[in-house]
Copies of this chain bind each other. A is one copy, B any other.
Amino acid sequence: MDEKLIIKKYLKPLANSKDSLQLRDDVANINVADEKYIVTNQDSLVMGTHFFESDDPKYIAKKSLRVNLSDLISKGVTPYGYFLSLAMDDTIDENWIKLFSQGLAEDQKKYNITLLGGDTVSAPHGLFISINMLSRTNDSIIKRSGACYGDNIYVTGTIGNSAIGLHLLKNKNDYLGLGQLDIQKLIRKYHLPDPRLKIIHLIKKFASSSMDTTDGLINDLLVLAGSSGRKFIIKKNLIPYSVSAKKFLNNYGDFDIALYGGDDYEVIFTSPMKFEDKLNEYAKKIKLKITKIGNVGSTSKNPGLFDEKYKEFKASYYTFKHFK
């Protein structure tokens, strides 16, 4: 396929900010005269690793944007625009590009972001997508390292849906009593993370540390505890699951798939106890489900994660890799 055609017909209409120079100049020129910071991150998705060849190109487009959006909003900043690099072999045809750019367009509207630049190149094998997403802001970000003694530990939404969705895709007969609606819901969570812009202000106002969950709740809590150099104590029975996930997990008999399975794209954060009432009030007002799952303990040379009986959780790289 002709790179110029792709750019002119499909990508240029997505570059609706002056800063993109209409994709004409190889560079974007981003006005930051009124800002203090650019907050930016870059994540890549590869066919065969992060999505399947048969996946809907619209979902692939949205997932590529959302894994990056999730990184920024979990830091309490509002996304502004993105760069897109596409490397494609010749199995990618114009219809694929059309659906892919429709997916981008829908999410640009939903998240109020714009395409700023990038490139499309040919590859001998496969499909590779790299996105650099940025935010212009006057506020500092909430870092991973800010958790203090006594802070409450929260998670948004429910966890494990995406990992169970992937399990269902891979094991088509292992439904364990789930109905069609449950199955669809869980698989959808795997295909399409749902980062919520409305969390930005909550994080900015109430969080002492935060990050999004991508590698499994336990692995990510361990990272947050490690960044703050503290012991985190969580109550296992407070961890929130969706109704569909609960049905599956109870029959499956092993909750590790939810605790260590990746791709939830929820936010874990810590917040001072004194904010508890105001935080709950605010979350209720914006209709965002947050759940307090534990508390931050003392500083330690060996930070870690413990349950209510002080049994230590260990990182499970194997489980993480397995469900990726």
Q: B42 contacts A38, CB within 8 Å?
A: no
Q: What separation, in Å, do the CA atoms of A306 and B31 have in the docked complex?
A: 37
Q: A118 contacts B27, CB within 8 Å?
A: no
Q: What separation, in Å, do the CA atoms of A38 and B3 have in the docked complex?
A: 26
Instruction: Tell whether A27 pairs with B39 under 8 Å between CB atoms, given A50-B121, A126-B124, A130-B85.
Output: yes
**Which of A139-147, A153-161, A184-192, A248-256 is the interface stretch?**
A139-147
Name which of A27, A32, A42, A84 has the most chain B CB atoms within 10 A of its CB: A27
Q: What separation, in Å, do the CA atoms of A143 and B20 have in the docked complex?
A: 12
In chain B, what residue has the closest Cβ to A47? B124
**Min CB–CB distance A73 → chain B (angstroms):** 11
User: Chain B contacts of A25 at CB under 8 A?
Assistant: 75, 141, 143-144, 211, 227
User: Chain B contacts of A121 at CB under 8 A?
Assistant: 44-46, 49-50
In chain B, what residue has the closest Cβ to A210? B25
- In this complex, the interface size class of chain A, counting residues with CB under 8 Å from chain B, is 35 or more
Q: A40 contacts B130, CB within 8 Å?
A: no
Instruction: Tell whether A42 pairs with B126 under 8 Å between CB atoms, given A31-B36, A32-B35, A36-B33.
Output: no
- Convert A92-126 into 0s and 1s, putting 1 for each residue whose CB lies closer than 8 angstroms to a CB of B: 00000000000000000000000011110111111
**Min CB–CB distance A84 → chain B (angstroms):** 8
In chain B, what residue has the closest Cβ to A138? B33
Q: B39 contacts A29, CB within 8 Å?
A: yes
Give this chain's copy count: 2
Q: A46 contacts B124, CB within 8 Å?
A: yes
Q: Is A24 positioned at the interface, with any CB of B under 8 Å from its CB? A: yes
Q: B26 contacts A71, CB within 8 Å?
A: yes
Q: Which of B31, B42, B44, B50 contacts A117 (CB 8 A)?
A: B42
Q: B27 contacts A87, CB within 8 Å?
A: no
Q: What separation, in Å, do the CA atoms of A11 and B48 have in the docked complex?
A: 25
User: Chain B contacts of A38 at CB under 8 A?
Assistant: 29-30, 32, 38
Q: Is A232 positioned at the interface, with any CB of B under 8 Å from its CB? A: no
Find residues 20-70 in chain A having any chain B CB closer than 8 Å to their own CB. 21, 24-33, 35-50
Instruction: Tell whether A37 pairs with B31 under 8 Å between CB atoms, given A26-B211, A123-B126.
Output: yes
- What are 24 A-to-B residue pairs whose CB atoms are below 8 Å? A25-B75, A26-B41, A26-B75, A27-B71, A27-B75, A28-B41, A29-B39, A29-B140, A30-B40, A31-B37, A32-B37, A32-B38, A42-B84, A42-B85, A43-B119, A45-B121, A46-B128, A48-B123, A49-B124, A50-B121, A124-B125, A125-B125, A128-B128, A130-B130
